[in-house]
Amino acid sequence: MTETRVLPLRMPILDGESLDSWLEAMGRRNGLTFSTFLRVLGLSRHYLTRLLVSDLPVSVLRELEVRTGLPAGRLDHAVIGDDFPFSPRRQRRCRFCPQCLAEREGRWLLKWWLPWTFACTTHEALLHDTCPGCGEGVRVRLPGHTLRFPPAACTRGSRLASVCGTDLTSAKLLELDSDHPLLAAQRRVDILLAARSTAHTVLADLNQCTSWLMHTLDDNDIQAMGPVIRERWHRRPLATRTPADRAKPLGAAVSGVIAHAALPFLDTSDETFAARALHVLRARHDTPNKVIPRGMTTEQWSQLSPGTQRRFLHAGDQIMGALDRVRFSSSTPRARVPEPGDHSASARIRHVPQVLWPGWTVRLMPREGMQENLFRGIAAALLLLPGEPVLRARGVTDRLGPHLPNAMTVTLQRALKSGHPDGLTALCNLAHYLDDHGSPIDYERRRRLVPAAPISPDQWRELCFRTGTQPGEQLNNKTTQAPRYLNAQRYLNQLLTSADLTDPRHPLVLRSAPDRSRYFAFPPSLTLDQRDALHQHAIGVLHDLNIDEPLTWEPPQECADGLDLPGRRLDDIDLEEVRRIVITEQRAPREAARQLDTTLTHIRFALEQVPREPREWGRSSSVGSWRLHQQAKDVLTTGFLQREYVDGDKTLTRIAQETGIPRHIAVVQARALGFTVRRTRKPFPIDETWLREQYLTHKRSTLDIAEELGTEDETVRRRLKHLNIPLRPPGVHSRTIMTAKIDTSLPRDVRSAVEGTLHGWLRLHRFQIAMHFPSLDSAARHLMTEPNALVTQFQRLERDIGTHLFARAAFGRPQQPTPRGRRLLRHLETDRIQALMTASLPHDHAPAPPDDHVLEAAHAKFQTRRNPGPPTPFDDISVERIRVTKPTLVLLRDLLARPQQKFYGAEVIARTGLDPGTVYPKLKRLERAGWLTSRLEDDVTWMNRATPGRGPGKRRTFYTLTAEGHRAARHETQHRTAA
């Protein structure tokens, strides 16, 4: 402008009027053409009309307001400012409503310049794009010859003769039904324009979606919009590959159809409805595994607002690749395209464990087709994928586990094929939760600071013994099985750091499938006290590292609310049923998983929550030994040992007996406290001269000497060795009674029976008493012993004296001493010998002599016994007749039940239950009498019975009942039965 002064002739600007229309009206008011008036205002360079409403600087607007007397800021509503999205598709022409032009006396509305104003809601009609006379766009260039034509005339043309001059108010009104979709769309656009901040975002996105919608919409979408709309829709420009093609103006009908289709997913607060509407459109022509919709350029996609991109991603979730779905979080309301400089995924790694949390493992892991350790590692790496700017799967997994295979796609595909596609959504939700809330555990710091072996073997032993369990050390170097303390180190390391123990770089890596199985069986084998002790030890490790964090943590299960996941919650299982199946019934965990309709991994983690009952250990076990050592530390204190062991002169053996602590443990404790442990007692005081006299002169045994001194036999023997006294051979021959000599004045037979023997006086005493009875049986009853014992003792007595001492009893004839025996009895009756005998016999071996009543009863009973004599021979059976007793009758009945069978003695004993000492002699007696025949076992049978590695043993003797023996046995059994 050349000068700043107020115009003399001015007119107000109408509501909604565009700046170019008002300036044209001001020029007419001042009698100037439009171009002339603009030169007066200094705006002659704006030869395109649209530049007057889109490109004027704010300073020019302020100056125009001054010169026209308008309040400051009034013209801001007459131009399209920065808050109006004019779009890359520049609006080269102005649309119009003939009826509105007529009513406003040729004054043009600003919104007609906007590309998304396509209908007049006042007159319910479609706007015109071109002049009905010349068919060209109106108000493209500055209107010429404005003084010769009315304000609403088409002034297209350069010379007066070529100016169109058509009265635009006379154009046909393109009426639409009141419920026409385009009118509804226009009303929504008008509402948006009233709030320009929202309109900028929505209409800018609409501009970028235009070319995509032009290729996506089909005849079915506009079938109900009327023939005018359909005809103009088919004339739309389809080529949009180049910027020039995309700059071609669109008709009002085409803009209306696009706005009608786009506003439901652009201008909405219902994200679900918007995603559904977009999904219907994307499903028509989209290519699978493609993020950007088909028909939309990368430039257009990048210029979409984040909200619209989120809706597109959410709508295309089902056709995108699995990795892209997680990377863009397309299945969640927070779907977005990561920016190149976005570092949220990289910052998330400190909150992510190397293997997925147990509670989320059982929920997300497919029931089939995945190894647990591989899934946990890949799933943890997938938590780093949402928001990752560059898709490179190997680069994502290498951050947590370079050892993992490139199996991210396979893992996601198997999760999708499991019938539970919400697993991808759950992974994205977990990543978003970590972004929003973080984690109370810094896993990256723990992986760096926590030692590989958080517990030493000695600490593990102490912990196990304290909780009443076995540490389970490796027994020898030949076994390849890892000791339990190694699995305890693995358990604690994974508890603290959530490390992947299949990583070859880890010092505690699982080296084989059996090693992995034993480690998986380790946590369920822990008792409740043992598990609590391990957790307390882990908390102590964190405290020593100055890490103030909880021991373990998992994102809340609310991250999966409303999602259909493959597995149930970790706590959604009956632990009592798991205990019953796996622990009580000793069935495999796989059977428990099948019965409870869950996975083996779920059962394995559930078993870690099932408390094991502690086992009762004996004193000989390592647990019992540790408890005894602890008891020794509590009982055998320094003061106690000083008082009892040193001052009280007690031996450690006695102290061990009194306290119930084994002596070897008492020795260890005493030495640990600094006491000198004596291997033996203090030397027992024995007089050397007296000992020599007793042992050498009097020939006393060490046992007799020890009893007299009140010590032990071995003590006396050690003292004799110390004195270099030759020891007599140990045993009975060195006893005093064996070495003692009797006075030679005693009878020779008495001395022969007593000297150099044990119990010689006892045998003489019993012989003296037995000779009062008629037989050894009656004497044995009185002496309360067995007759065989008396026979053996009297035979020894006769052998020592060298002659027979008595004649044995027979039928009807009592036993009688021989002359030598009577002489011995007379010697025994003397007072001197009776005194020696009484002194030598203990009281329990010296029964009183029988009284007369006992002797009379014994003799009377002996006289009543009669001699039965030999059995009467058979009359017509040619075998010897034998005496048939009750055992013989049992034997004969057994033989008659198997007359033709051969048998051997053990079979008869097993069938009859008779004593072997009875059966075998009777079989021999029957054979001698002709009742039985016998033969030895043949070599073949004998060798076949041989035990491998040992000899065949004794041959069997087989017996068979003869024909005459069968008759004799039948006769005896019938006779006995009749009797």
pLDDT tens digits for range 381-434? 888 888 888 777 777 778 888 888 888 788 778 877 777 778 888 888 998 999
Residues 853, 967 within the same domain: no
Average pLDDT along the chain:
82
Residues 24, 152 within the same domain: yes
The answer as to whether 936 is a domain residue is: yes
Q: What is the pLDDT of residue 737?
A: 61
Residues 796, 777 within the same domain: yes
Residues 165, 203 within the same domain: no
Q: What is the pLDDT of residue 91?
A: 63
pTM, rounded to two decimals: 0.62
Q: How far apart are the C-alpha atoms of 776 and 222, rounded to whole Å?
A: 137
Q: Over 50: is that where the pLDDT of 88 sits?
A: no
Contact of 113 with 49, CB cutoff 8 Å: no
Q: How far apart are the C-alpha atoms of 209 and 219, rounded to whole Å?
A: 18
Give percent above pLDDT 70 in the chain. Answer: 90
Residues 37, 87 within the same domain: yes
Polymer length in residues for the chain: 979
Burial of 71 (0-12, 13-18, 19+ CB in 10 A): exposed
DSSP secondary structure letter of residue 65: H
pLDDT per residue as tens digits for the range 817-846: 999 989 988 988 898 888 888 887 876 556
Q: What is the pLDDT of residue 763?
A: 86
Contact of 380 with 354, CB cutoff 8 Å: yes
The answer as to whether 819 is a domain residue is: yes
pLDDT band at residue 375 under the 50/70/90 scheme: confident
Q: How far apart are the C-alpha atoms of 977 and 974, rounded to whole Å?
A: 5
Residues 199, 295 within the same domain: yes
Q: What is the pLDDT of residue 2?
A: 47
Q: Over 60: is that where the pLDDT of 3 sits?
A: no
Nearest-CA neighbor of 272 among 311, 237, 308? Answer: 311
Helix, strand, coil shares of the chain, percent, nearest 5, are 55, 5, 45
Task: Residue 908: count other Cβ atoms within 10 Å of its Cβ.
Answer: 22
Q: Over 70: is that where the pLDDT of 15 sits?
A: yes
Residues 764, 901 within the same domain: no
Q: What is the pLDDT of residue 745?
A: 82
The dihedral over CA atoms of 305, 306, 307, 308, expressed in degrees to the nearest 10, equals: 50
Task: Residue 491: count other Cβ atoms within 10 Å of its Cβ.
Answer: 23
The dihedral over CA atoms of 904, 910, 915, 921, expressed in degrees to the nearest 10, equals: -10
Nearest-CA neighbor of 544 among 480, 454, 475, 630? Answer: 454
Q: What is the pLDDT of residue 553?
A: 92
Last residue of a domain, one of 832, 864, 896: 864
Q: What is the pLDDT of residue 714?
A: 81
The answer as to whether 328 is a domain residue is: no
Greater pLDDT, 847 or 933: 933
Mean pLDDT of 940-965: 82
Q: How far apart are the C-alpha atoms of 713 and 715, rounded to whole Å?
A: 5
Residues 650, 783 within the same domain: no
Look at 238-242, 583-587, 658-662 and tell me which has the smallest mean pLDDT: 238-242
Mean pLDDT of 501-530: 86
Residues 24, 165 within the same domain: yes
Q: Over 50: is that where the pLDDT of 912 sits?
A: yes
HEC letters along 507-532: CCCCCCHHHHHHHHHHHHHCEHHHHH
At a CB cut-off of 8 Å and minimum separation 6, what does 417 contact? 366, 369
Element holding 932 (H helix, E strand): strand 932-936
Q: What is the pLDDT of residue 441?
A: 92
Task: List the domain range (segments joined by +) for residue 36.
Answer: 19-175
What would you measure as the largest C-alpha separation in the chain, in angstroms?
190
Mean pLDDT of 603-624: 72
Q: What is the pLDDT of residue 150?
A: 81
Q: What is the pLDDT of residue 100?
A: 93
Q: Write the DSSP assignment of 190-254 as a string of letters.
A: HHHHHSHHHHHHHHHHHHHHHHHHHHH--HHHHGGG-HHHHHHHHTS----SSHHHHTS---HHH
Nearest-CA neighbor of 83 among 186, 188, 203, 247? Answer: 203
Q: Over 80: is that where the pLDDT of 657 sits?
A: yes
Contact of 808 with 819, CB cutoff 8 Å: no
Greater pLDDT, 175 or 55: 175
The answer as to whether 528 is a domain residue is: no
Last residue of a domain, one of 699, 715, 739: 739
Question: Kind of pairing, strands 932-936 and 957-961?
Answer: antiparallel
Task: Residue 628: count other Cβ atoms within 10 Å of its Cβ.
Answer: 19
pLDDT band at residue 120 under the 50/70/90 scheme: very high
Q: Over 80: is that where the pLDDT of 227 sits?
A: yes
pLDDT band at residue 109 under the 50/70/90 scheme: very high
Q: Over 50: is that where the pLDDT of 644 sits?
A: yes
First-to-last CA distance in the chain? 165
The answer as to whether 562 is a domain residue is: no
Contact of 360 with 333, CB cutoff 8 Å: no
Look at 740-749, 786-795, 828-837 and tell me which has the smallest mean pLDDT: 740-749
Q: Write the DSSP assignment of 89-153 as a string of letters.
A: S---SB-B-HHHHHHTTTPPBGGGGSTT--EETTTTEEPB-B-TTT-SBBTSBPPPSTTTS-TTB
Domain count, the chain: 7
Q: Over 60: is that where the pLDDT of 890 sits?
A: yes
Look at 83-92, 392-401, 647-656 and tell me which has the smallest mean pLDDT: 83-92
The answer as to whether 220 is a domain residue is: yes
The answer as to whether 223 is a domain residue is: yes
Mean pLDDT of 224-246: 74
Strand partners, 167: 153
pLDDT per residue as tens digits for the range 34-53: 777 888 787 766 567 778 88
The answer as to whether 613 is a domain residue is: no
pLDDT band at residue 975 under the 50/70/90 scheme: confident
Residues 300, 276 within the same domain: yes
**CATH at 844:** 1.10.10.10
Task: Residue 112: count other Cβ atoms within 10 Å of its Cβ.
Answer: 25
Provide the 3-class DSSP secondary structure of residue 806.
strand
- Helix (H), strand (E) counts: the chain: 49, 7
Residues 231, 214 within the same domain: yes
Residues 897, 826 within the same domain: no
The b-or-e profile of 415-442 (16+ CB within 10 A means b, else e) is bbebebbbbbbbbbbbbbbbbeeebebe
Greater pLDDT, 259 or 158: 259
